Amino acid sequence: MTPPAPEQPKASEPNPSKAEAPSPFSLTTKLEGQVIFGATGVVSGDFDRNTAAGYRARLELKTAIGEGTLTTRLQSDNLGSATAATPEGSLSWTGDAAGTVAVDALKYEFPISPQTQLVVAANAGASDDFTDTINPYFDGDGASGSISAFGNRPSIYYTVQGAGAGIRHKLSDGMELSLGYLSSTSNTPTTGNGLFGGSYGALAQLTFKTGENSKVGVTYTRARNADPGTGSTNANAGGDSNNFGLQGSFQLSPQFALGGWAGYTQNQAAGGDRQIWNWAVTAAAPDFGGKGNLAGLLVGQEPRVTSSGNGTTDTKAGLHIEGFYQFKVSENMSVTPGIIYLTAPNQDANSTSAVIGALRTTFTF
């Protein structure tokens, strides 16, 4: 009896003997974009800031590499910051006003374990890359939320930026640890600069979950020539500083949240030591007037020098009072009018109060 012939693979089925081995390395890139058109001007008060309009455009390439993500962000902006006069009242989306396209951020994020995430930044890294800034409705990195840099996130986080690395580790369901080190002079090998010899900021934070969508954070940063970029001119004098912060955000209902922070800085700069304080109380009403809208109110004090070894204290405790309303026009467009009231610009008793108006239109794709 003749044995049956072996069964041949069907034409519609792959031949196992010819199948290609799966590639161990593949790349998938996702493109995201964001454009902000903004205008600002002084509505009233003797304040050195002219009416101006400009834009900020970002194009992000997110490439999946292994289990991590490589982010390459290109940015162009032409609306400069107002730090030449005083950092107070600076907007959250201003930049260097160069108007050229450049690599603004280059970072790689990947998990070390299910509980631990590592971020390595080669350029334009920030503390919020590896830390919860505990200001969810106000911190939109300039594109949403607060219209001011001060309202965007607590000032302590601005002392950590540049190139370096950060780690975010979940200690338990209700507690998280963040650690990081970033330097803004990492690519300058001259004396007094470099990754460890120049301007830097190191951060440690414990974040506690106190309830559903409610958190408290305790933060410490050690910085050298890394100023908060908010507050009075005296509060941005460089030098070495120890910065301490306590932040909280509490979701009291789906339509209302309260938050705030308090910050203290021990600063050692040329001419003497400085004691610097800042604080804020925030209120947010998500979906106010329609789904996707947001109303926000902030009352606080930008960084102010309360005592100094060389007498350069700020002479008046001025308030920063801010209100904004973010209106969702469509899934890809929002418009945010806002107003900032400074009771004593630059924390100076000789200054008169000022009202700054701003209008921001954000497109995402």
- Under the banding of pLDDT at 50, 70 and 90, the label for residue 316 is very high
Residue 271's pLDDT is 72
**Residue 156: other Cβ atoms inside 10 A:** 31
Q: What is the pLDDT averaged over residues 275-297? A: 97
Q: Which CATH architecture has domain 30-45+53-364?
A: Beta Barrel (2.40)
Q: What is the pLDDT averaged over residues 315-327? A: 97
User: Where is 195: in which H helix or E strand?
Assistant: helix 194-197
- Token pair for 215: 């958190």
Beta strand 161-172 with 354-364 is unpaired
Indicate whether 174 pLDDT > 80.
yes
Per-residue pLDDT tens for 11-27? 444 444 444 444 455 57
Those residues with Cβ within 8 angstroms of residue 364's Cβ, 6 or more apart along the chain or in another chain = 32, 33, 34, 143, 332, 333
| Least confidently predicted of 73-82, 127-136, 156-165, 186-195 | 186-195
Q: Dihedral sign, CA of 280, 283, 286, 290?
A: negative
- Under the banding of pLDDT at 50, 70 and 90, the label for residue 49 is confident
Indicate whether 136 pLDDT > 50.
yes
Per-residue pLDDT tens for 323-361? 999 999 999 999 999 999 999 999 999 999 999 999 999
Per-residue pLDDT tens for 100-125? 898 989 999 999 999 999 999 999 99
Residue 59's pLDDT is 96
Give me the residues paired with residue 273 across strands.
268
Share of the chain above pLDDT 70, in %: 90
Give residue for tokens 């606080």. Answer: 300
- Under the banding of pLDDT at 50, 70 and 90, the label for residue 223 is very high
Residue 189's pLDDT is 72
Residue 8's pLDDT is 47
Residue 82's pLDDT is 60
- Token pair for 339: 């107003």
| Least confidently predicted of 201-205, 215-219, 265-269 | 265-269
Per-residue pLDDT tens for 32-47? 999 999 999 998 887 7
Q: What is the pLDDT averaged over residues 280-300? A: 97
Share of the chain above pLDDT 90, in %: 74
Residue 194's pLDDT is 67
Residue 333's pLDDT is 98
Domain boundaries, the chain: 30-45+53-364
* Amino acid found at 132: D
Query: Torsion angle, CA of 323/292/61/72, rounded to 10 degrees?
Result: 20
Residue 26's pLDDT is 59
- Token pair for 233: 């001119």
Q: What is the pLDDT averaged over residues 285-302? A: 97
Residue 84's pLDDT is 53
- Under the banding of pLDDT at 50, 70 and 90, the label for residue 1 is very low
Residue 19's pLDDT is 46
* CA gap 134, 49 in Å, rounded: 30
* Average pLDDT for the chain: 89
User: Where is 55: in which H helix or E strand?
Assistant: strand 52-65
